Amino acid sequence: MKNLCFCFFLIISFLSCSGNFNITEHSETYPELFPDYINTTIPPNIAPLNFSLQEKNDDALVKFEHKDFTFQIYSTDGTFDIPLKKWKRLLQVASGNEFSVTVCVKTDKGGKEYAPFKINVAREPIDSYIAYRLIDPGYSLWNEMGIYQRELSSFKETVLYENKLTQNNCVNCHSFCQQDPSQMLFHMRGNHAGTILIQEGEIKIIQPDAKKNIPSLVYPYWHPSGQFIAFSTNKTTQDFHPTQRVEVFDHSSDVFVYDIKRNERLSTPFLDSKNNMETFPSFSPDGKTLYFCTAQAQPVPDSINRLKYNLCSVSFDINSRSFGNQIDTLFNAEKENKSISFPRVSPDGKYLLCTVSGYGTFPIWHKDADLYLVDMNTKQGRFLKTFNSNDTESYHSWSSNSRWVIFSSRRIDGLYTRPFIAYLSEDGMEGKPFLLPQKDPSYYTLLMKSFNIPEFCTDKVTFSQVDIMQKVKEETDTKFIGENSVN
């Protein structure tokens, strides 16, 4: 009898919620959502796309529909928290297809139903985790920062390293060897300067070594073998500029390959030129080619507008640990009157994705910075119109199956970088990017930090930040070595 009463109560409750939505008005337009998930393409293993209605509403309803599988959620404040189980089931049944989302809101006259929109579910899954740094998009000062990882099928965020363990020093440039969570590095600056290298379950510290000509390391990229890491070494300055909020530029920079086992620097005059500045190294997926950006040195900051970085490559032989004699130019900056940053070849080797801006080497502060895709077969490039916005698009990385790209963009408010995920099909078709979903959609509004260097990894990074801290404190000098922080 008790159970019967309870069921009756539940039914009445349900009817009273949904029954109030007597649709009296059908709108031709989509509802305004934050984040905007309308007509996006998502992976089949992503966390629920919780969203809120921009229009102020007390009562609202959202219906998710795919063939026979439908469910709806009721909200009293215009924010929808999608149940994980139902969401997973929806993605499972709609994988390789699309599902429809209909939003209804309560009005004085009854209810208004907005035009339903589609969300495409790709067949290809996305890597399980991403790692990113959370920092203040500041001018010169920082306080608390950290590197975090986030499980993409849920909202679980865990700490990789927080700088509060080492006197709020700068930690930056985390990088994985082909999305492998067991092979990772990041830099520490300040009192515990060094590069933290995690490989084969061990934590090592690479410190500047004048004898071996190993300077302070900056932009990294792992060789797919895990035996080498390409680094740039940059003398970076931050200054002000008539048009950018902040301008960061190099006075000089070189690229070299670091042999992990032998603790040696491998280089070639092409990568070590005094007249040119080389930066942003990256390897091809087969490890035989090293890509890098290079520009003719200019007097900075006065001629910073003339600082345009080409995209070049040189062959690299893992056995002889040597470079080729020929430099190939894939993107001629002078001809295009643009500057290239962060070249990244997709793991399947088909595409190279990079950031293109008007000039310089620090596109994050350039509103014109956009993502640019080069087809590696035809060597033809194009701007990714669907991915790009009127604001900055900057750092990006590929998922291990080459179908997903995560990139940082300032499109939401023009200042705080946020991680967007986008689908790119094998034949280069672009899906509409979506903002990394959060449990509470207002998370991004209240967050005063930027997402920096979003990187995919295939599994959870398991090492402990305390072990890193202890290792760092054991091995690094306590004296201040010098700050060379780059955002």
Partner 1 sequence: MSQTYNKNNHNSIVVFGGVFFFLSLLLFFHLFWKYHFLNIEQYQLFLFTQEYVKELLFDYGGLSSYLARFCVQFFIISFIGPALTALLLTAIGVLFYLSMRQSYVSKNLFVISFIPVLFLIPLHLDVNYKIEGTIALLLTFLCLFIYTRIKTPVLRILSGILFIFILFAGAGATVTLFIALMIPYELHKREKKAWIIVFPLLTWLISIWFLLKTGVKDSVTNLLLPDTYYDPKLHNSSMYYPWIVFFILFVASLFLLKGKREVKQSSVKNYWFISLGICLLFVSFYVIRLSKDREYYNFQKQSYFVRNHQWQNVIANYTAPFALQNRLNPILNLALAKQGLLGEKLFERRPKGVQDLLPQWDSTIDDAVLLSEIYYHIGDIASSQKMAFEATVASINGGSGYMLLRLIETNIIFGNYAVAKKYISILEKTFYYKSSANELKRFLYSDNEVEKDTTLANKRKALVGNGNYAVSSKVVHTLEQLAINNPENQIAIQYLAAMCLLNKDRKSFRHLLELYYGTPVWPKLSTLHQEAVVTLERNNPTFWVKNGVSLKVEQNFRTFNEVAKTKQHTPSFEREMRAQFGDTYWLYLIFDN
Question: What are the residues binding partner 1 (CB under 8 A)?
Answer: 136, 138-143, 159, 162, 164-168, 239-246, 412-416, 440, 442-443, 445-446, 448, 464-466, 469
Q: How far is the CB of 138 from partner 1 (least distance, A)?
A: 5
In this complex, which beta carbon is closest to partner 1, that of residue 163 or of residue 232? 163
User: Residue 104 and residue 469: Cα distance in Å, rounded?
Assistant: 51
In this complex, which beta carbon is closest to partner 1, that of residue 71 or of residue 463? 463
Which residues, including other chains, have CB under 8 Å from residue 199's CB and lie 6 or more apart?
177, 182, 183, 184, 226, 260
DSSP 8-state symbol, 178: T
Token output for 236: 């970076």
Q: Are strands 33-34 and 51-53 parallel, antiparallel or unpaired?
A: antiparallel
Q: How far is the CB of 360 from partner 1 (least distance, A)?
A: 15
CA proximity to 239, closest of 301, 299, 298, 297: 301
Rounded alpha-carbon distances, angstroms, from residue 192 to 93, 173, 475, 479: 50, 15, 9, 8
In this complex, which beta carbon is closest to partner 1, that of residue 213 or of residue 442? 442
Q: Bridge partners of 196? A: 186, 205
In this complex, which beta carbon is closest to partner 1, that of residue 166 or of residue 183? 166
In this complex, which beta carbon is closest to partner 1, that of residue 52 or of residue 276? 52
Q: How far is the CB of 24 from partner 1 (least distance, A)?
A: 30
Return the H-helix or E-strand segment holding 165.
none
For 411-423, b/e burial (b = at least 16 CB within 10 A) is bbeeebbbbbbbb
Which residues, including other chains, have CB under 8 Å from residue 347's CB and lie 6 or more apart?
178, 179, 285, 398, 399, 400, 401, 402
In this complex, which beta carbon is closest to partner 1, that of residue 148 or of residue 416? 416
Token output for 94: 């709609």
Q: How far is the CB of 154 from partner 1 (least distance, A)?
A: 17
Q: Identify the residue whose tokens are 């039914």.
A: 11
Q: How far is the CB of 409 from partner 1 (least distance, A)?
A: 13
In this complex, which beta carbon is closest to partner 1, that of residue 240 or of residue 480? 240
Q: How far is the CB of 135 from partner 1 (least distance, A)?
A: 10
In this complex, which beta carbon is closest to partner 1, that of residue 380 or of residue 478? 478
Q: How far is the CB of 467 from partner 1 (least distance, A)?
A: 9
Q: How far is the CB of 251 from partner 1 (least distance, A)?
A: 16
Q: How far is the CB of 149 from partner 1 (least distance, A)?
A: 15
E strand spans, 381-439: 381-383, 393-398, 404-409, 418-423, 434-435
Return the H-helix or E-strand segment holding 443.
helix 443-446
Rounded alpha-carbon distances, angstroms, from residue 146 to 164, 169, 302, 410: 8, 10, 34, 20
Q: How far is the CB of 141 from partner 1 (least distance, A)?
A: 5
In this complex, which beta carbon is closest to partner 1, that of residue 391 or of residue 430? 391
In this complex, which beta carbon is closest to partner 1, that of residue 100 or of residue 168? 168
Give 206-210's long-range contacts (Cβ < 8 A, gap of 24+): 206/258, 206/263, 207/475, 207/476, 208/481, 209/263
- In which region does residue 379 sit, left (phi positive, over 0), alpha (psi from -120 to 50) or beta (all else)? left
Q: How far is the CB of 432 from partner 1 (least distance, A)?
A: 20
Q: How far is the CB of 480 from partner 1 (least distance, A)?
A: 13
Token output for 32: 């305004």
In this complex, which beta carbon is closest to partner 1, that of residue 152 or of residue 165? 165
DSSP 8-state symbol, 426: T
In this complex, which beta carbon is closest to partner 1, that of residue 313 or of residue 487? 487
How far is the first Cα of the chain from the last one, in angstroms, to the nearest whole number? Answer: 65
In this complex, which beta carbon is closest to partner 1, that of residue 246 or of residue 297? 246
Cβ-contact 54, 34 below 8 angstroms: yes
Q: How far is the CB of 146 from partner 1 (least distance, A)?
A: 11
User: Residue 349 and residue 345: Cα distance in Å, rounded?
Assistant: 6
